[in-house]
Amino acid sequence: MASRGTWIAITVAIIVIIAVAVGVAEYAHHHTTKGKIITSTTTTPTSSSTTSLAPPHLTGNVETDIVSIGKYLSSKGIKEVKFVVWAAGDPNSVLREYAIFEAAHRLNIILENNHVDFKIVIDSQKSLFRRGGGDKLADDFAAAFQSGSNPDIMANSYKYIAEFASQGYILDLTNYIKAYHNLFSDFYPSIMKAVIYKGHYYAVPQDTEARPLYWRTDVAACIAKKTGINILSNLAEKIKEGKVTWHDVFKYAELAKKTGCSEWGVLHRKGTAHPDLIQFIYAFGGKLEDPSTGKLVLPVAAVYKWLYVEWLMARDGLIPKDMMSWDWAKQIHPAVVSGKTLIWIGGTWHWTEWQAQPYYYDKKLGKYRPLTAEEVKKYFYYTLFPAGDPGDKPLTLSQPFVWYIASNAGKENPDYNEYKEIYHMIAFLLVVKASDPDIIAIHCIISGHLPVRKAATKLMENQTWINELKSLKINLDPRVKEAIAPIVQKTVNPINIQFLVNVSKMLAYTKLTPINPYYPKLANIFTTAVTNVLEGTMTPAQAVKYIEDKIKADPDLSKNVEIVGSIPTNWKFP
């Protein structure tokens, strides 16, 4: 029988052999998986079974990434995370909020299918969809950020990128987008440029649009009957070729008013000059930024001409003097859909909004109702925004909506400081899934916006899929399906889809407003100027001086805006 010392020696030898074997196995595992995606490593159980997972990173594969993240956080005892989304837009753009709900739904299905005990919840109590423009929502976001009550994700105009990036409110997504370069190569390059600031990506495009001039066909027919002048004859091509300018548009608006064919000649947006009215500046050959200096530009001649057109239209009764304070739902859209104006300076989304909202008063029914797709097609002809003067160029203007991810995204989840990078990744993956082609296509069809991805555009041409959407035989979170059902019923129509195909061609003429932190300030000054010009409290020349004085008096604008040119002395309009 072996002695006690011999047994001790044997035991020690066995332990050493086991340790060496484990070490060799770990060494081999490390070197055979070098360069591969490793989502977890397992340690040898001791007295109790424990699992240590490597911190996840983005690989460019959604399933791999969300499973890796879910397993990691679950191993840390975090089984559920919550996020909040805010969005702005017209009444039909509800998917700017619900797309994130749907994205969470799809990510949760992936997690369930991979047996991962982890769930993403979108907090419906704190999430918000605000009808109307995004300025108020952007202000609220900035204010909320100071107190830490801001949303994790927001859908809003791209125009806030420079401001929010400079203030540190939003994440720099450059590395995330690089990791998902295959996916983002499907996005239209011109639209991706709209989310770049100082060489970095700070948002993900959500949708885009064009801003046509809508012409009432019944008002034009009335003018033709009374004057023999057929305004709409080949008008779209004439505007595209620069043969019809704002000099002509003004005369057409005069005809509408003088013949009694409509109450107004032109109606446009209320409340702000950005972005719709900024088209006038471009139409008269102006530019708003100098790429060589990175500064904003005030093109005095172009701004003067824009303000003069507005001033003269108001003086001649072609546009309401209080246009900037009209109510969207009670005044603007009812006037447009009932033919009280020849021209409406609008957006592609209005095409479907008129079909979903009860703006039209039907005398036979004795109540307000939406227009049908057939009625919208019958009564509205659409063109590019015409050139200002002969020799200038027609255009449209796009203001892409984008997904912003707050720099403190996921802040309300457990151990935020320790896991914030992972929470940021989850927020990004929510935006990635919200960018699935079918979600983008549904949003564009029901809201009249244009897709930011080629795959979404292609899907919109798939009649089988269109039929499934119309009958709601599509796989969506029940809450999302319920939210879009009434809009789908009113808007999914071949007429609307053909309209989107047609107006998509306008993007070849599109302009963007500057991505500059001081642009919103400048746009606000423009708003005050055009309001005063319309009301008659300032002449166009006085309004230009007002703009110049406000720029010079503001420390930021005085350093970052170049005032270029002067008021033209020999220009005549119309």
What pLDDT is attached to residue 4? 43
Count how many residues are written for the chain: 574
User: DSSP string spanning 506-539?
Assistant: GGGGEE-----TTHHHHHHHHHHHHHHHHHTSS-
Residue with the two structure tokens 């957006």: 347
Does pLDDT of 18 surpass 70?
no
Distances (CA, A) of 547 to 163, 544, 550: 21, 5, 5
Pairing type for strands 200-201 and 196-197 reads antiparallel
Report which DSSP code applies to 208: B
Q: Residue 455 is which amino acid?
A: A
Q: Please work out, in degrees rounded to the nearest 5, the angle formed at the alpha carbon of residue 176 by the alpha carbons of 194 and 415.
A: 120
Does pLDDT of 24 surpass 70?
no
317 strand-pairing partners: none
Report the alpha-carbon distance of residue 530 to residue 306 in Å, rounded: 9
Per-residue pLDDT tens digits for 497-526:
999 999 999 999 999 999 999 999 999 999
Pair 450, 209: CB distance under 8 Å: yes
Per-residue pLDDT tens digits for 355-369:
999 999 999 999 999
Domains of the chain plus CATH, in order, are 62-208+399-436 (3.40.190.10), 213-397+512-564 (3.40.190.10)
Structure token pair of residue 375: 């009625």
The stretch 77-85 carries a mean pLDDT of 98
Structure token pair of residue 186: 């499907």
Pair 368, 358: CB distance under 8 Å: yes
Does pLDDT of 28 surpass 70?
no
Rg of the chain, C-alpha, whole Å: 29
Residue bearing the bigger pLDDT, 13 or 313:
313
Choose among 382, 388, 384: nearest CA to 396: 384
The stretch 461-484 carries a mean pLDDT of 96
Long-range contact set of residues 57-60: C-beta below 8 Å, sequence gap at least 24: 58/175, 58/176, 58/179, 58/180, 58/425, 58/428, 59/179, 60/179, 60/180, 60/181, 60/182, 60/183
Does pLDDT of 29 surpass 80?
no
Work out the end-to-end distance of the chain between its first and last CA atoms, rounded to an integer number of angstroms.
Answer: 118
State CA 457 to chain mean position distance.
16
Characterize 451-482 residue by residue with b for buried, 16 or more Cβ atoms within 10 angstroms of its Cβ, and e for exposed. Answer: bbbebbbebbeeeebbeebbeeeeebbeebee
Confidence band for 51, pLDDT divided at 50, 70 and 90: low
- Determine which helix (DSSP H) or strand (DSSP E) holds 453, and give its type and residue range: none
Report which DSSP code applies to 194: G
Does pLDDT of 39 surpass 60?
no
**DSSP E strands, 217-329:** 264-267, 289-290, 295-299
- Local structure of 244: helix, strand or coil: coil
Per-residue pLDDT tens digits for 416-428:
999 999 999 999 9
- Local structure of 411: helix, strand or coil: coil
Backbone phi, psi, residue 281, to 5°: -65, -45
**348 Cβ neighbours under 8 A, 6+ residues apart:** 209, 210, 211, 212, 448, 449, 450, 499, 500, 503
- Local structure of 365: helix, strand or coil: coil
What pLDDT is attached to residue 556? 96
Residue with the two structure tokens 């998986």: 33
Report the alpha-carbon distance of residue 182 to residue 61 in Å, rounded: 10
**36 C-beta neighbours (distance < 10 Å), count:** 6
**112 Cβ neighbours under 8 A, 6+ residues apart:** none
What pLDDT is attached to residue 133? 80
Structure token pair of residue 148: 């830490």
Per-residue pLDDT tens digits for 251-294:
999 999 999 999 999 999 999 999 999 999 999 999 999 999 99
